[in-house]
């Protein structure tokens, strides 16, 4: 089973997001990376199998909802945010969610070094919203 149409939908979401938030090439404020690298996702799905891949996607969805989608930088503890970002970096990397992994890596670094993390959190939150939509698209039951 291929997910070509789902990947096209995700690419359309990326383009829409880029236009709506005014992403320019080389901009660090939004999502210069791809939301999803299809080849990495397909490789993970091949290695894990279909059901474990769906379970991993649902778990990542839950992590994003609990820690990014309904929170603001002022609502979170630095240590907790570091742990969440660390977890997301690993999960996103395995599944091919490039923008989320990159944004959470930067957030993790800011938390670890004691730097201000509000802009990194905002970028991670933006990536979480787009990734959330991409995961929902991938989990959507196929219609025939």
Q: Give the residue from 115, 112, 114, 84 showing the smallest Cα distance to 100.
A: 84
As a whole number, the mean pLDDT across the chain is 82
Residue 1's pLDDT is 40
Residue 12's pLDDT is 63
Q: How far apart are CA 58 and CA 106, in angstroms?
A: 24
DSSP the chain: ---HHHHHHHHHHHHHHHHHTT--TT-SSS--S-S--HHHHHHHHHHH-HHHHHHHHHHHHHHHIIIIIT--GGGS-HHHHHHHHHHHHHHHHHHT-HHHHHHHHHHHHHHHHT---HHHHHHHHHHHHHHHHHHHHHHSPP--
Does the pLDDT value for residue 95 go beyond 70?
A: yes
Q: Are 122 and 73 in contact (CB under 8 A)?
A: yes
**Weakest-pLDDT range from 22-26, 94-98, 99-103:** 22-26
pLDDT in tens, 36-90: 999 999 999 999 999 999 999 999 999 999 999 988 877 788 999 999 999 999 9
Break the chain into its structural domains and give their ranges: 35-139
Kindly indicate the confidence band of residue 34, based on its pLDDT and cuts at 50, 70 and 90: confident
Residue 24's pLDDT is 41
Determine the angle formed by the axes of helices 118-139 and 78-95, rounding to 10 degrees.
Answer: 40
Kindly indicate the confidence band of residue 25, based on its pLDDT and cuts at 50, 70 and 90: very low
Residue 7's pLDDT is 61
């Amino acid at each position: 089973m291929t997910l070509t149409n789902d990947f096209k939908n995700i690419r359309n979401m990326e383009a829409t997001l880029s236009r709506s938030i005014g992403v320019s090439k080389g901009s660090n404020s939004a999502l210069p990376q791809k939301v999803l690298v299809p080849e990495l996702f397909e490789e993970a799905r091949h290695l894990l199998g279909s059901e474990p891949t769906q379970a991993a996607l649902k778990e990542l969805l839950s992590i994003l909802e609990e820690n990014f989608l309904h929170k603001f930088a002022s609502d979170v503890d630095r240590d907790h945010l570091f742990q969440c970002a660390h977890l997301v970096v690993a999960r996103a990397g395995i599944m091919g969610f490039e923008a989320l992994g990159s944004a959470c890596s930067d957030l993790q670094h800011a938390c670890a070094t004691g730097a201000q993390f509000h802009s990194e959190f905002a970028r991670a939150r933006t990536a979480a919203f787009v990734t959330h939509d991409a995961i929902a698209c991938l989990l959507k039951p196929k219609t025939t």
